[in-house]
Amino acid sequence: MSHHSPLRTTKSLVLIHLRDFKMLYTVYTMAQRVRFKLALIVFKCLHGLAPSYLTEICVHVSSVAGRRPLRSADTRTLYVPRTRTDIGARNFGVAGPRVWNSLPPELRMLNCTVCTFAAKLKTFLFSAVSASENF
């Protein structure tokens, strides 16, 4: 004889399945985690919360000498240096601004805390993943 009522057992199974479902959809690939971390570091650089050697790398397009003022200056677009090799493209000075520029302007324009930005960034990355799965 079982000590658990059928209702309690069913409720427990439903909760377990919901937890497993949530875990299934909150697991990010390595590429998504790298993208998240790069965007978070760039956010910290732009808000003076990162070391100076990283902050100096993140340069707004509008502040690059010899460039005309463009509409991108209003969207916090960063300058992405050209590279000749794939290894050079992995450098933070290239990969960080490239990931930052790929974010929607609403995220790039946020003036908020790191925690709020991280939460909104995760929401964006999660919605991008689920949208690509629902083709």
Q: SS3 of 65, please? A: coil
What pTM, to 2 d.p., does this model score? 0.70
Beta strands in 1-135 (DSSP E): none
Bridge partners of residue 78, in order along the sequence = 60
Helix (H, G, I), strand (E, B), or coil: what is residue 98? helix
H or E stretch at 92 = helix 92-102
pLDDT digits (tens, 9 = 90+) for 37-56: 999 999 999 999 999 999 99
Give per-residue pLDDT as tens, 76-128. 889 888 888 888 888 899 999 999 999 999 988 888 899 999 999 988 887 76
Task: Identify the sign of the CA torsion 120, 62, 70, 91.
Answer: negative
Q: Which two tokens stand for residue 79?
A: 């300058």
Task: Report the distance separating Cα 6 and Cα 3, nearest Å.
Answer: 9
Residues in CB range of 101: below 8 A, 6 or more apart? 77, 78, 80, 108
What is the pLDDT at residue 53? 92
**Half-sphere exposure (Cβ direction) of 21: Cα atoms closer than 13 Å:** 6
What 3-state DSSP class applies to 25? Answer: helix
The ranges assigned to domains in the chain are: 31-133
Q: How far apart are CA 24 and CA 21, in angstroms?
A: 5
Start-to-end CA span in the chain (Å):
48
